Amino acid sequence: MQSVARSQSAVGPHTAAPKDATLIYRQSRWTRLTHWLWAISLFFMLLSGLQIFNARPQLYIGKESGFAYNNTIFAIGAENTANGPRGYTEIFGKRFDTTGVLGWSGPAGRETSRAFPSWATIPSYYDLGTARVVHFFFAWILTTTLVVWLIASLINGHLRRDLVPRIADLRRLPRDIVDHARLKFHHTREYNTLQKMAYGGVMLVLLPLMIITGLAMSPSMNAALPFLNDLLGGRQTARTIHFIVMLLLVAFFIIHMLMILAAGPINELRSIITGWSRTDPPAHGSKTPQRDA
């Protein structure tokens, strides 16, 4: 027990170590600060982004949007039918009725034609100019935070130590998937393989790709970095990728919330707000769950 207590004071900056030996200092203040900056930025960027999308609720593949030819792969719209106006979503030419949510939505009797519904956009009414103001403000916050975090994580070893999966992690992957499927969670200081893949995937793949495809839509950045759209397959393809990455981030958010609920929301919230997390008590005779700092 003595060694456990010592390693706690080594990993935690707090002078008053908790009496409970299973409480460990898991998330550094940088992780917590950047987590909440990203959470707030992504919230506003998603809702303003859906408003921006509503101005042109079609996605195309290529350099431009086809008006005299068809390169549309996704569209949300409204149409008049025998049963009144209906909202639809069209994916690769296949049409689905999405009345009430996508294409045609609003309070009963006052429905309007809009791609994403009012409750999913900022502002709630149609206003492309304002959505752009909100989107680009938080784009600066998100990007600055990610760049600072990347540099700091490379220097302080957070990336290598906690996020990039190792050979041992990959070997553990099948067991990890089974454990998650059974909602059997191990509360340790380190991330498990699926956590490493999810967090690493968001921070090292999805967010950078979001920023790159966002920049690829800027005419001025196209002049500064003309190769961007050549790599991505054209400005309209970049816009489509931007949208798909949004869907992946939303999927990540939903799984993230479900995992927090399943793993114990109080402990998880305490961990990302205060840094302190309750871990499994060390099994008799085995190594302590946390490594030395």
Partner 1 sequence: MPKFVISRRKFLTSASLGISGIMLSGCDAFDSQLGVGDGLRSFLEGANGLTWRAQRLLAGDSLAPEFTEADIRQPQRPNGVTAPDDDVYKGLLANDFADWRLEISGLVEKPLSLTREQLMNMPSRTQITRHDCVEGWSCIAKWTGTPLSLVLDQAVVKPQARYVMFHCLDTIDRSLSGDIKYYGSIDLIDARHPQTILAYGLNGKPLPVENGAPLRVRVERQIGYKMPKYLRRIELVDSFAAIGGGRGGYWEDNGYDWYGGI
Catalog residues that contact partner 1 under the rule CB under 8 A: 14, 16, 32, 36, 39-40, 43, 47, 52-53, 55-56, 58, 60, 63-69, 118-125, 127-130, 132-134, 136-137, 139-140, 217-226, 229, 235-236, 239, 269, 273-274
Amino acid at 282: P
Q: Between residues 71 and 99, which has the closer beta carbon with respect to partner 1?
A: 71
What does the chain come to in residues? 293
Amino acid at 6: R
Written as six digits, the tokens of 72 are: 């549309």
DSSP 70-135: --EEEEEEEEEETTEEEEEEEETTEEEE-TTTSEEESSTT--EEESS-GGGSSSSS--HHHHHHHH
Give min distance, CB of 137 to partner 1, in A.
4
Q: Between residues 66 and 281, which has the closer beta carbon with respect to partner 1?
A: 66
Give min distance, CB of 164 to partner 1, in A.
27
Q: Where are the beta strands (DSSP E) in the chain?
A: 23-25, 58-60, 72-81, 84-91, 94-97, 103-105, 112-114, 276-278
* Three-state DSSP class for residue 232: helix
Q: Between residues 37 and 203, which has the closer beta carbon with respect to partner 1?
A: 37
Q: Between residues 102 and 197, which has the closer beta carbon with respect to partner 1?
A: 102
* Three-state DSSP class for residue 24: strand
Q: Between residues 134 and 203, which has the closer beta carbon with respect to partner 1?
A: 134
Written as six digits, the tokens of 166 are: 């190792």
Give min distance, CB of 65 to partner 1, in A.
4
Q: Between residues 180 and 235, which has the closer beta carbon with respect to partner 1?
A: 235
Comparing C-alpha atoms, which of 150, 265, 255, 155 is closest to residue 203?
150
Give min distance, CB of 91 to partner 1, in A.
18
CA-CA distances (angstroms) from residue 30 to 122, 140, 156, 161, 278?
Answer: 29, 18, 11, 15, 20
Give min distance, CB of 46 to partner 1, in A.
10
Q: Between residues 93 and 265, which has the closer beta carbon with respect to partner 1?
A: 265
Give min distance, CB of 17 to partner 1, in A.
13
Give min distance, CB of 14 to partner 1, in A.
8
* Three-state DSSP class for residue 278: strand
